[in-house]
Amino acid sequence: MAVKVAFMQCSDCWGCHQSLLNAHLGLLPVLPALDIVYWPAVVDFKHDSLKARPDGDVLVGFLEGSLRTNEDIESAKLMRAKCQLIIAFGSCSCYGNVHGLANEWDIQDSIDRKFKQAESITNKDTAKEPTSHMPGFTRKIVPLDEVIKVDAYIAGCPPKPEAIISAVQFLLGQKPQPMADAAFCSECVLKDSGCVLEKGVLCFGPITSAGCTLKCTSNGNPCVGCLGPSKTVDSRASKLADMVKNAGALSSGDKKNMYEFLALFLNIPLMSGFDLAGDILKQIKRTGAPQTPLANLPSETEGIASSLMGYLKDHRDFLTVSTVCDTCPREIGSKSQMTKVKRDYEGLPNMEDCLIEQGYLCAGPITRAGCGGLCLRVNAPCSGCYGQTQWNVDQAERFADIVTKTYNVALSKEQLLAQMKDKIGFSEKFTLATNKNYR
Amino acid sequence: MGKVIEVEPVTRLEGHGGLRIVLGDDGKVKDAQFNITSTRFFEKFCEGRYCEHVPRITPRICGICPIPHHLTPTKAVEDAWGVKIPEPARKLRILLQNAKQYSSHILHFYALAAPDFLLGPFADPALRNVVHVINKMPEVGAMAMKMMDFGQKLCAAIGGKSVHPISAIVGGMKKPLDEDVRDKFLKEIDEQIEFTKKTVDIGLKVVTDYWDVVANVGVVPTYYLGMTKNGVHDIYEGDIRIVTPDGKKIDYDVHNYLDALGEHIPDHSYATHMYYKPAGYPEGIYRANTLAMINCADKMATPLADDALKAFRDKVGPISHHTFAYHWARLIEAVESIEMIATLLKDPDVVNPDCKTLDVEPREGNGVGVTEAPRGLLLYNIWSDAEGICKKLNLLVATNHNIAGIEKTLMHVSKQVFEDKALEGLALPKPWID
């Protein structure tokens, strides 16, 4: 039986919807499970049709966008009334997004710049804020959960398609099935010599579907399970099972692999990118967990998944404190050293070393994981779109504190801070709306 | 008392808006408004940021066209600082821009526009959407998704992320395309060209089926705004071109944009009304987007697209004021994009690591960057101080360029519908799907 879902857009860019649509063919298994009752981006139901529904009629409501206008506030309240479960969909509703940077100014300054001062305006003598059939602006942008109760958060600007689909599947209790017959190991370039798992590195090849490009192990890296489970497992699965039985003792590199594996293979909604409000394990229990959301797994795979879920049960922090650095492919403690803060346009960094150690301001150390380090992979520093790992602290100070202590940085904390000209734009670009000092 | 007809919200639109049509007692249309009810003040909060960070903020203006919103401010800062980028970087950017144009145009055609035509204008609103189209025409749906997927994946491969890319930097690009990734796209290119041809065939059948509508509904003479390079259709660089209602073409260097483009602040829309300044407001109201670009072009940049342009002009004449021809124009641009992609993927420069100049120094001044985004011209004017901090930003985005023209068209069509009852005599085809 399809469940009713509604998508509401507040002041936004459509990017979360585009990201959802980017799943393309991946959407097909999900669509039949959904009865879309409101989604102005795609379907033709009007506002009145949502208003006319009884309260609580819709199971899941996705709310995208920042609360910049009074209409946005009304839309949020309407959704809260009509939906049993509200998801803050994307970093706008989670944290206010870049639009929250406007909180640095009085709203009137923004209005004046746009409607009175812009160089191209030709009716400057009469121009003013439009008011005819216009909703008016909120004085400051605040995150959605300061206006209505939120049940779950999907962060990211935009959230990755995989994260959205797995969040939807998770909420609907839908279970993806195993795919290829053989395991990754059967095609692995290192199967006969140089196996990384045999060297003691956590590699999920023995239980992962074959059929990928083999790029990870070709480069000497372990498999993190992108393709999901295989129908049969490789004999090395027992070695893997032994390693994860004591997951707490794994090295930081192995934990990084485990983190990616949990997201990609086990379809655990990307953890730091997807949060249930309140106690996550209590919420998971409501759906009969903690257990893997996958079904019909080979027994060895089931055992490995159970070990990891057991670890999550005892280490809730693992879900929330991972940073972008934890999933970044670059080396920390590299041969590079930051001796001064470089601007992004200066030089061209190499692809191997930590960007901070190469001199660039990268928000990775203070930013929640979930993206998989997409920016870093094209040589661009993290700008913090998944939100931070700690709140109610001075983020620029915290950044300076962390990197001067644990990264190869030759500057003192004070020197580093002094060289950061736009601290807010760097460290709170996506989250300033959560900062009560700017209300 | 007359009557007020409100459409709230306008659906299948990348933004926020409602329509408001006011009818008098006599049944005459008194007013037709397009109320855009949201804006977010990027012009203000980019102030004080590092200039090179502006292109990492502004993609959030539009999730469908974040690539032009990444490349255009980058070009504006390069203009302000006098930076020349290496040729491989320029080609990568053009490839990226075309990948976006392709996926966006296909998304628009299949997901936003096609339900109107395939189901017909009087279909059940509950079914008039792309999900139903996919269910009823699974082969066409699968093809459409493969096309969008190709474009979006290519955007992600070059831009790092397809939504809100990060790889352009003042001075070039952070990274070239990986060779193995390039090869993967090359393998798919022939299939994509075939898909595009099939899509054009579907589009032409729709035009033929709906010819009575195309030729008679919403035919509104306006000015047009687009971009060309030496008269040739170009979405990455060139001059601003205005076409007058009677077909005269006038070019402006992008730095002189204030001579051509006026911004009128209305009282009923947060998206402001743009017009051709020498003609005054509202007489100079222009339209942007695909039809405008096609009206501006002397020719297309690629052979198949140029053939498609000739076929278009044979049917509608050298200047088309047919609002419904926007869809046809969009497909001509999609053909150009896939041809550009095919050519550039074979160009060794797109995998050339020499894609970033080291010769970049901030300097005080203002710069202008212009590209053609999928929905119309995009212009950034950025003021930098000597240290490269953004002092001021003036933004003219596709929405601004389109709103006044859409409203003018809405007034025209409202009169046709409510006063002339023009819909009653129209020849409409039997819907393809029900």
Say yes or no to pLDDT of A177 above 60: no
Say yes or no to pLDDT of A185 above 50: yes
What's the pLDDT score for residue A279?
44
B348 close contact with A: CB closer than 8 A: no
Say yes or no to pLDDT of A292 above 70: no
In angstroms, the separation between the Cα of residue B193 and the nearest Cα of chain A is 19
Predicted confidence band of residue A213 (pLDDT cuts 50, 70, 90) = confident
Size of interface A-B (CB pairs under 8 A): 254
Residue pLDDT, tens place only, A374-402: 999 999 999 999 999 888 899 999 999 99
Residue pLDDT, tens place only, A219-241: 888 998 878 888 899 999 999 99
Across the range B227-250, mean pLDDT stands at 98
In angstroms, the separation between the Cα of residue A11 and the nearest Cα of chain B is 6
Give the containing element (helix H, strand E) for A84. strand A83-89
User: Which sign does the torsion angle of CA A212, A218, A223, A229 carry?
Assistant: positive
Say yes or no to pLDDT of A109 above 80: yes
Say yes or no to pLDDT of A318 above 50: yes
Say yes or no to pLDDT of A285 above 70: no
What's the pLDDT score for residue A71?
96
Q: What percentage of chain A exceeds 70 in pLDDT?
A: 89
Across the range B61-87, mean pLDDT stands at 97
Mutate to test the interface with B, among A13, A49, A111, A129 (most CBs of B within 10 A): A13
**In whole angstroms, what is the distance from residue A175 CA to residue A295 CA?**
6
Closest Cβ–Cβ partner in B11, B107, B169 for A344: B169
Domain boundaries along the sequence of chain A: 3-100+134-172, 184-321, 323-439
What's the pLDDT score for residue A160?
86
Question: What 3-state class would DSSP assign to A323?
Answer: strand
Say whether B152 and A22 touch across the interface (CB within 8 A): yes
Say yes or no to pLDDT of B53 above 50: yes
Say yes or no to pLDDT of B217 above 90: yes
Residue pLDDT, tens place only, A398-416: 999 999 999 999 999 999 9
Across the range B152-165, mean pLDDT stands at 97
Say whether B8 and A46 touch across the interface (CB within 8 A): yes
Q: Is A288 or A142 the better-scoring residue by pLDDT?
A: A142
Shortest CA distance from B39: residue in chain A: A11
What's the pLDDT score for residue B236?
98
Q: What is the mean pLDDT of chain B?
A: 96
Q: Is A84 or B346 the better-scoring residue by pLDDT?
A: B346
Mutate to test the interface with A, among B14, B38, B135 (most CBs of A within 10 A): B38
Give the containing element (helix H, strand E) for A36. strand A34-38
What's the pLDDT score for residue A282?
44
What's the pLDDT score for residue A30?
76
What's the pLDDT score for residue A28?
74
Across the range A150-156, mean pLDDT stands at 86
Say yes or no to pLDDT of A268 above 70: no
What's the pLDDT score for residue A306?
81
Across the range B246-271, mean pLDDT stands at 98
Residue pLDDT, tens place only, B355-364: 999 999 999 9
Domains present along chain B, CATH in parentheses? 3-36 (no CATH), 42-425 (1.10.645.10)
Across the range B60-69, mean pLDDT stands at 96
Predicted confidence band of residue A88 (pLDDT cuts 50, 70, 90) = very high
Across the range B283-308, mean pLDDT stands at 98
What's the pLDDT score for residue A278?
47
Predicted confidence band of residue B293 (pLDDT cuts 50, 70, 90) = very high
Fold of the CATH domain A3-100+134-172: Rossmann fold (3.40.50)
Say yes or no to pLDDT of A270 above 70: no
**In whole angstroms, what is the distance from residue A376 CA to residue A359 CA?**
14
Across the range B132-141, mean pLDDT stands at 91
Mutate to test the interface with B, among A10, A18, A214 (most CBs of B within 10 A): A18
Predicted confidence band of residue B95 (pLDDT cuts 50, 70, 90) = very high
**In whole angstroms, what is the distance from residue B76 CA to residue B263 CA?**
20
What's the pLDDT score for residue A178?
61
Predicted confidence band of residue A291 (pLDDT cuts 50, 70, 90) = very low
Q: What is the mean pLDDT of chain A?
A: 87
Say yes or no to pLDDT of A263 above 80: no
Q: Is B157 or A310 the better-scoring residue by pLDDT?
A: B157
What's the pLDDT score for residue A142?
97
What's the pLDDT score for residue A286?
42
**The length of chain A, given as a count of residues:** 439
Residue pLDDT, tens place only, A193-206: 899 999 999 999 99
HEC profile for chain B? CCEEEEECCCCCCCCCEEEEEEECCCCCEEEEEEEECCCCCHHHHCCCCEHHHHHHHHHHHCCCCCCHHHHHHHHHHHHHHCCCCCHHHHHHHHHHHHHHHHHHHHHHHHHHHHHHHHHCCCCCCCCCCHHHHHHHCHHHHHHHHHHHHHHHHHHHHHHCCCCCCCCEECCEECCCCCHHHHHHHHHHHHHHHHHHHHHHHHHHHHHHHCHHHHHHCCECCCEEEEEEECCEECCCCCEEEEECCCCCEEEECHHHHHHHEEEECCCCCCCCEEEEHHHCCCCCEEECHHHHHHHHCCECCCHHHHHHHHHHHHHHCCCCCEHHHHHHHHHHHHHHHHHHHHHHHCCHHHHCCCCECCCCCCCCEEEEEEEEECCEEEEEEEEECCCCEEEEEEEECHHHHHHHHHHHHHHHHHHHHHHCCHHHHCCCCCCCCC
**The length of chain B, given as a count of residues:** 434
Closest Cβ–Cβ partner in B163, B180, B277 for A19: B163
Say whether B38 and A374 touch across the interface (CB within 8 A): no
Closest Cβ–Cβ partner in A68, A344, A345 for B38: A68
**In whole angstroms, what is the distance from residue A345 CA to residue A362 CA?**
13
What's the pLDDT score for residue B207?
94
